[in-house]
Structure 1
Amino acid sequence: MRWPLSRLLLRKILRDMWLARTRMVMMTLAIALSVTAVGAFLSARAILGREISRNYLETRPASATVRVPGGVDAATLAAVKAQPGVLDATTRASFPARLKIGNGPWRMSLLFVSHAADPQRISRVTMQRGAWPPPPGGLVLERTALAFLDAEVGQAITVQVPGTVPASVTVTGSAHDGGVAPADQEQTAYAYTTDATLARLGVRSAPDELKVVIGDRTGPSGSRDVIETDVQRVAALLRARGFPVSRIEVPRPLEHPHQGQMEMVGFTLLAFGAAALLLSSVLVAALLGGLVTGQIRQIGAMKAVGARTGQILALYLTLTAILSVLATALALPTGAALGRALAAQGARLLNLDLFSLAIPPWAYALQITAGIFVPVLVALMPLVRGSRITVRAAIDDHGLDADAPARSWNGRLTTRLGGPSRLHTLATRNVLRRRGRLVLNVGLLAVAGAMFLTGLNTATGWNALVQEGTAHRADDLEIRLARPAPAARLVELARGVPGVVAAEAWARAGTTVHVPGRVDVARVYPDDAHGSFTMLAPPAATPLLRLPVEQGRWLRPADVGTVVLNNLASAQLPGIRIGDRVSLTVDGRPTTWRVAGIVSDFGSQATAYTTDRQYASVTGETGQAGLLRVVTARHDTGARQAVLDRIEAALEGDGVAVERSFRADELRAALDGHVLVLADALIGLGVVMGLVGLLGLAAGLVTAVTERTREFGVLHAIGATSTVVRGIVVAEGGFTAAISLPVAALAALPLTRLLGDFVGANAFRQPLPFRFNAPALLVWSLLALAGAALAATAAARRASRLTVRNALVTL
């Protein structure tokens, strides 16, 4: 007998969907929620990935910057432009400076200076207010610096370049620079002006930065090797023409300074979104498995009249596909809208302009593929198992696992455990009698809990890394000098200021990895922060710095020719090991050092540490220092700022030029700004995971009640009240949620470690501290138990309304 599948299939599917409409809605919502998450993160990642590159390339960044003290003449600049591989070149300058509004505190700044006649084809900015070039005595602020300084266009501000007298200039406009981070993240206000304004500030020097674009007729090169080879030829030309070259700076080609941070955050979000989709697919599989289980007798009847296994499987797969298509259709516009909102938020945090919010077609295609096929594939196994049941097995089905004898271990266990009442014993027995279902429901909720905890644990670990990075520094103030000064005099001046508890003067100098026969190449960006490499020389026994040693050891007073690298410095020297020798250029001199250790130094750029004695022996600058670190009596922001103002006044009164200074809380604010995106995203993802898990628990309880219609009818027949029936179902839900809690906590441990290692290694070259967020576990426990009670209440109400008649008419 041929089963007329094509004629009855639609009627059967529609009837099943109507009769199990609550479960159908839950399945559809679960898939839609997860596909929405995937779509939002995928769309945001696609938009930000495109726009961050576009913003950076809109500035037409230089491939390399050649530092030429004294600058070059017009004929040499023309000769550089004529070199093979050079697409364009120009001369610029940049100066560290300090800005302040009225009587407010000094804020760090970096002035980018060009000639008024410069065509601005390289490293350009986009004017938003005002015009370029600014008039003499005017400057343009990067747009994020306006809020950072609390300044306005047209306002007068005080500017001081190290070694000069503070002067008043006017903010004549604002601009967007797609090549720099937001001012509050770096605690630096970027400003743009001309050499005419610089002269009014008391600085008269030729531009010493030769900006070069390397490439071919297809455009700027994205190969660091090609760039370095060609720019070394440019350096050779300059030297041959009598212009000294101090070093070459080559940042990551065609990549924004925060490109890696954005990609890491995007990958993490997408991974969590994929986990949410997999979780919802497991939920769909569980609910469909329950639907098939509840229709075992129907399947047996269909097979008795000639239906084949393939036809029955096709019926349920079609039902799954319909739900997946509906859910994906709901999720696509929602995910796109949320993705655009996330991209807009990310753009604000990364200082980007969104030229387009268009989502690429491949992102939609991937969402559709994931939303439709992943649930179908995950549900395939329980559907195949259910569709293969024989007529005899269907008739013999009594609602128990096939391998669960009447006096199984779980029955004996629950009898021994007992409970507050026979009601709880019965509920425990009911939950345990379908061990496969129990494992699936507990696993579903446990996975959601594990992901929720992992997200919050990772966010907590990130915050702990920030706290540890600041805790390892005992100083409250850091003051960098424009030129080295006698260390003893610096300490004397600082200690003479009221409110100062301790002070140390350290030697400080920029450094680069030296390769014999080549001009030194630094990896630093034009902002002089990202990719920079510094040598610091504190006293060997300094109490102001206690960095965790990852390999080797810390500095000792008797060391000779020894350095300790922090983790970012070791990243600039791939494959470096303890005991290796490295060649570093310090104060213009190539020097050789032995690596004694590698330390964790979160919050600092790449740094090589040596002792003050060793530094003096190498540079010949005995008793000189370029950095002052101070401990204050009080540690609040106001007290620190007051002491800083007094120290700066004392230094300036003694003829010591300050380059920049900042408080410890400003460092914390800068670090927090870098981690804000990921921390907030992980918390949000944890909430999404929790919602999917609770939805699964609710749906599982509804399925269990539906499957046990006869059982509840019998309970009513023998005198069980509605209150008793409701109590059984609520206890079952609470028991399932309680079992999932320790499983979720245990599963979160390795997941937290894996995610923390990945995020930390990609962001700051060190794993995040492992932190288990106990309040998060408490929150999840309350959510799970409350959710279980809420879901069980709905299912219990349904169970309490079942009658003996319902049981008798159930097939």
Structure 2
Amino acid sequence: MADRAHLAPRWRKVWADLADNKLRTLLVVLSISVGVFAVGMIYSSYLMFERDLDRSWRAALPASATLYADPFDEELVASIRSLRGVKEADGRRNVDLRVRGAGGEWKQMFLTAIPDYHKQKVNVIRPQSGAWPPGDGDVLIERSSLDALGVTQGGSITVETPTGRSRTLKVTGVVYDPSQIPSMFIGRYYGYINMDTLEKLDEPRRLDQVNFVVEPWVLKGKDTAPIEAIGRRAWTKLEQGDTTVFWLQVNKPGEHQLQGAINAMLLLLAVLGALSLCLGTFLLINTVSAILTQQVRQIGIMKAIGARREQILSLYLALVGAFGVLSLIVAAPLGALAADAVTRFMAGIFNFDSGGLELPPRVLLLEAAVAILVPLAAALYPVWRGTGVTVREAVSDYGIGGVEARGRVDRWVDAALQRLGKLKRPVLLSLRNTFRRKGRLALTLLTLTVAGTVFMAVFAVRSSLYSTLDQALEYFRYDISITFTQNYRSSRIEQEVARVPGVKAVEPWGFTSGRILKADTRQAEDEASKNVFILAPPIDTKMVQPRIVKGRWLVPGDESALVVNTEVIKDAPGIVVGGPAIIKTGNRRLKFTVVGIVQSTMTGPLAYAPYDWLSGAIQESGRSRSVQVVAASSQPEDQSALGRALEEHLKNNSLRVQQVDITWEAKQRIRAQFDIITTFLLIMAVLLAVVGALGLTGTMGINVLERTREIGVMRAIGASSLEIGRVFVVEALCIGLISWLAGALLALPVAALLSYQVGVLFLQSPLAFSFSFLGVGIWLALSAGLSVIASLLPAYNAARLSVRDVLSYE
């Protein structure tokens, strides 16, 4: 008290309200801190992402575009470098092979050979530690792959060459390649070798990738069309060098290749911050109402001795401001630490350098505004309303009453309770008290309902992501896909695959890639044309289950027929069923008639042509580039073992395998990527659930204060502590169940909207919506559990009240 003696009476009261009811102060500070923490964390994360991602990306001198092709000589890179508008161009060679991990299992690895590490001009790889550049027979491991592979600098890795032979490479260093999607995200591992090492891996000293950067005058903002135009001319240069080009990848100027995914996650974090702030505000309104309810007699006494309403108003607003300052002290450093942790986590996922902890002044100013100004604005109405009580109303307040049915809702509740007459009287009292303060109930229900809606919607998004993945992989009805480095006779491929035990069905497919032209002219090759992969399965294939959108599928007798998926239509909207399609592949222009359009799901632009006609048109009659296999066993482990056995058998029989894709393993890798998205959404839901539980605790605390004299009456007529506590626990449980029901009803449209937005942001197309009843069930259990937990302390406080305590209640 000595510390307060020098304060004016009104400020002594503010201090007493802060210090004498520590639990209430903690509740209010927590309610404000949640919103301040979320806003500070998200804004700081955004600023650090912007700073660190841009710094790492630009330091790598990222490519404007990349061309992938069959192996070619280094002279072709010089021809691309000489194109007008090209500033720099570098060539590389990529070898896709298997590497033995620390646990002895084989994993997929991407080894890249660079002609001269000292003269890199595009997609620059930087040394982190160890030797530089790699020596003959050495490998440098990309830092995102180091831990996943379980290797250390100075150790070695064992790789299997495309011909099936094992080679040991010494790990002499660690490098950083910002242009690669990190291993944690994609499930593939990266290493870097010199051109001499290629020969040890049974590969020729040739390139298969060109990265180029355009001149600044070519660029027109974020528009990729000027880059695409130069990319098409570079494509033609490679084709003139007698090589087949598979793909042209164009990057948006100045943006990380995963910028869309990063923006989507930042958007999700922003939604988290906004919801946390709103729900924290509702919680604050309830808590301020509790203070005013408890101190209604104090307000009456202050007015009786001459205090004006404005003076009392300033007193309570000063109290709210003090709560805000305390919240800022708590939340600002925690928000900065959380932002640093989020940035480091995101840096690991997206493979960029984190610049470390920072708390910019603009973030601190925003947090101060959220901590002080928002609570003051939110508290203004309840404080104005609470301080408007008259002296007579204040001194005659006994905390009892308001139980009569005044409105339609009250009459409905009373009528419903009369039909439940068999229930025990304390339970009926709990149910009636639930609807006693409808305004307070609405705010509490809103907080819990929003938390529940988001939680259940997150599970629906997760289910939709998995459903989309299942549809994408069921599109192709095979278990294993094997791609070769070149075309081989189909009969030979089929014969060799059939020799391996465990194979149920085999289909060799033709394959090529090209560009869709607007017209059959030389000029059209330099105009708008799009990438497309052409698959040529047998006409009677059982390994594709297309969903026809328009037209039909391939039938016997088709020759130059073509079926395209919706991704092709998106890129080339001029293509229609019954119309022509001209595709340039190599030095040939193939003329097709489009007979059908099929739905695309996570497959990119694909077209399907009859095998016999296409293989003849590209002068590869009777030859195939890939084979699709159905396993006799449906067990994932058996399919993986079969894939490895097929790869080894084909390599031992001089069929050079480029890649083996096992469907269920691909599914697991993609699910791991999806889990990153759902983890962020789940964090959002859990934080909102915490806010909702705090709100319910505050509401039940207010109810105990308002009903102090009622509790005394119950005590006087013989109610036990357990019965009194049970009244408040059942009331909280009732609120939790109502919020669950409201959340379940809202979750369906919210989940549909959220699934649509997540699909567009991450996959550039809406997800196949699937509602999760598992999420509904989990939230039912959580809402019941949180309600009981939130009510325990208020119920305990109520049960502790004696008749003497009640009679002395002010």
Task: Give 1:428's aligned amino acid.
Answer: L
Deviations 1:578-613 (CA, angstroms, capped at 9, x unpaired)? 7776554334434455373242423x3443344435
Task: Give 1:188's aligned amino acid.
Answer: R
Mean Cα deviation higher: 240-249 or 613-622: 240-249
CA contact (8 A) 1:137 1:197 kept: yes
1:129 counterpart residue number: 129
Alpha-carbon deviation of 1:140?
A: 2.5
CA–CA distance in structure 1, aligned partners of residues 576 and 392 of structure 2: 70
CA–CA distance in structure 2, aligned partners of residues 721 and 105 of structure 1: 65
Identify if the C-alpha distance between structure 1 residues 568 and 67 changes in structure 2 by more than 3 Å, giving closer, same or farther: closer
2:554 counterpart residue number: 556
1:460 counterpart residue number: 463
Matches within 5 A, 1:630-669: 630-636=629-635, 638-669=637-668
Mean Cα deviation higher: 396-405 or 263-272: 396-405
CA contact (8 A) 1:111 1:193 kept: yes
Deviations 1:620-667 (CA, angstroms, capped at 9, x unpaired)? 544332111111123445533442344334434554321111322331
Is 1:481 the counterpart of 2:514? The answer is no
Alpha-carbon deviation of 1:118?
A: 4.8
CA–CA distance in structure 2, aligned partners of residues 563 and 106 of structure 1: 38
Mean Cα deviation higher: 651-660 or 552-561: 552-561
Task: Give 1:328's aligned amino acid.
Answer: L
- SS class of match (1:465): helix
Is 1:503 the counterpart of 2:502? The answer is no
Task: Give 1:691's aligned amino acid.
Answer: V
Alpha-carbon deviation of 1:557?
A: 1.4
Identify if the C-alpha distance between structure 1 residues 718 and 91 changes in structure 2 by more than 3 Å, giving closer, same or farther: closer
CA contact (8 A) 2:93 2:206 kept: no
1:793 counterpart residue number: 792
- SS class of match (2:710): helix
- Of all paired residues, the percent bearing the same amino acid is 28
- SS class of match (1:123): coil
CA–CA distance in structure 1, aligned partners of residues 809 and 68 of structure 2: 86
Mean Cα deviation higher: 149-158 or 711-720: 149-158
Task: Give 2:554's aligned amino acid.
Answer: R
Alpha-carbon deviation of 1:776?
A: 3.3
- SS class of match (2:704): helix
CA–CA distance in structure 1, aligned partners of residues 235 and 560 of structure 2: 30
- SS class of match (2:75): coil
Alpha-carbon deviation of 1:347?
A: 2.0
Mean Cα deviation higher: 125-134 or 306-315: 306-315
CA contact (8 A) 1:570 1:598 kept: no
Alpha-carbon deviation of 1:689?
A: 1.8
- SS class of match (1:792): helix
Task: Give 1:738's aligned amino acid.
Answer: L
CA–CA distance in structure 2, aligned partners of residues 276 and 307 of structure 1: 37
1:412 counterpart residue number: 415
Alpha-carbon deviation of 1:59?
A: 1.6
Matches within 5 A, 1:585-600: 585-591=584-590, 594=594, 596-600=596-600
CA contact (8 A) 1:563 1:593 kept: yes
Identify if the C-alpha distance between structure 1 residues 205 and 554 changes in structure 2 by more than 3 Å, giving closer, same or farther: farther
Alpha-carbon deviation of 1:674?
A: 1.9
Task: Give 2:707's aligned amino acid.
Answer: R
TM-score (norm 1): 0.86
Matches within 5 A, 1:355-366: 355-366=355-366
Alpha-carbon deviation of 1:401?
A: 8.4
CA–CA distance in structure 1, aligned partners of residues 809 and 104 of structure 2: 80
Aligned residues: 792
Alpha-carbon deviation of 1:333?
A: 1.1
2:40 counterpart residue number: 39
CA–CA distance in structure 2, aligned partners of residues 310 and 593 of structure 1: 81
CA–CA distance in structure 2, aligned partners of residues 148 and 520 of structure 1: 43
Task: Give 1:347's aligned amino acid.
Answer: A
CA contact (8 A) 1:46 1:363 kept: no
Alpha-carbon deviation of 1:47?
A: 2.6
Matches within 5 A, 1:301-380: 302=302, 307-380=307-380
Task: Give 1:744's aligned amino acid.
Answer: G
Alpha-carbon deviation of 1:737?
A: 1.8
CA–CA distance in structure 1, aligned partners of residues 413 and 775 of structure 2: 32
CA–CA distance in structure 2, aligned partners of residues 508 and 145 of structure 1: 31
Counterpart of 2:426 (choices 414, 423, 426) is 423
1:13 counterpart residue number: 14
CA contact (8 A) 1:555 1:610 kept: no
CA contact (8 A) 1:222 1:253 kept: yes
Matches within 5 A, 1:97-246: 97-101=96-100, 107-116=107-116, 118-154=118-154, 169-183=169-183, 185-204=185-204, 207=207, 211-216=211-216, 223-228=223-228
2:713 counterpart residue number: 714
Mean Cα deviation higher: 273-282 or 660-669: 660-669
CA–CA distance in structure 2, aligned partners of residues 161 and 145 of structure 1: 19
CA–CA distance in structure 2, aligned partners of residues 720 and 65 of structure 1: 79
CA contact (8 A) 1:248 1:519 kept: no
CA–CA distance in structure 2, aligned partners of residues 234 and 74 of structure 1: 9
Task: Give 1:32's aligned amino acid.
Answer: S
Identify if the C-alpha distance between structure 1 residues 618 and 227 changes in structure 2 by more than 3 Å, giving closer, same or farther: same
CA–CA distance in structure 2, aligned partners of residues 387 and 581 of structure 1: 78
Deviations 1:407-430 (CA, angstroms, capped at 9, x unpaired)? 844333323323521111122222
1:446 counterpart residue number: 449
CA–CA distance in structure 1, aligned partners of residues 450 and 208 of structure 2: 58
CA contact (8 A) 1:534 1:608 kept: yes
2:3 counterpart residue number: none
Alpha-carbon deviation of 1:100?
A: 3.5
Task: Give 2:679's aligned amino acid.
Answer: D
2:4 counterpart residue number: none
CA contact (8 A) 1:249 1:522 kept: no
Identify if the C-alpha distance between structure 1 residues 189 and 292 changes in structure 2 by more than 3 Å, giving closer, same or farther: same
Task: Give 2:440's aligned amino acid.
Answer: R
CA–CA distance in structure 2, aligned partners of residues 646 and 797 of structure 1: 66
CA–CA distance in structure 2, aligned partners of residues 314 and 181 of structure 1: 56
2:63 counterpart residue number: 62
- SS class of match (1:433): coil
CA contact (8 A) 1:292 1:386 kept: yes
Matches within 5 A, 1:610-759: 610-613=609-612, 615-616=614-615, 618-636=617-635, 638-759=637-758
CA–CA distance in structure 1, aligned partners of residues 239 and 488 of structure 2: 35
Alpha-carbon deviation of 1:762?
A: 1.2
CA–CA distance in structure 2, aligned partners of residues 314 and 608 of structure 1: 72
CA contact (8 A) 1:423 1:724 kept: yes
CA–CA distance in structure 2, aligned partners of residues 278 and 144 of structure 1: 38
Alpha-carbon deviation of 1:260?
A: 1.5
Is 1:22 the counterpart of 2:23? The answer is yes
Alpha-carbon deviation of 1:201?
A: 4.3
CA–CA distance in structure 2, aligned partners of residues 341 and 98 of structure 1: 35
Task: Give 1:133's aligned amino acid.
Answer: P
Identify if the C-alpha distance between structure 1 residues 585 and 46 changes in structure 2 by more than 3 Å, giving closer, same or farther: farther
- SS class of match (2:719): coil
CA contact (8 A) 2:292 2:383 kept: yes
Mean Cα deviation higher: 169-178 or 110-119: 110-119
Identify if the C-alpha distance between structure 1 residues 575 and 375 changes in structure 2 by more than 3 Å, giving closer, same or farther: farther
Identify if the C-alpha distance between structure 1 residues 372 and 638 changes in structure 2 by more than 3 Å, giving closer, same or farther: same
Identify if the C-alpha distance between structure 1 residues 745 and 588 changes in structure 2 by more than 3 Å, giving closer, same or farther: farther
Alpha-carbon deviation of 1:546?
A: 2.6
- SS class of match (2:627): strand
- SS class of match (1:96): strand
CA contact (8 A) 1:164 1:203 kept: no
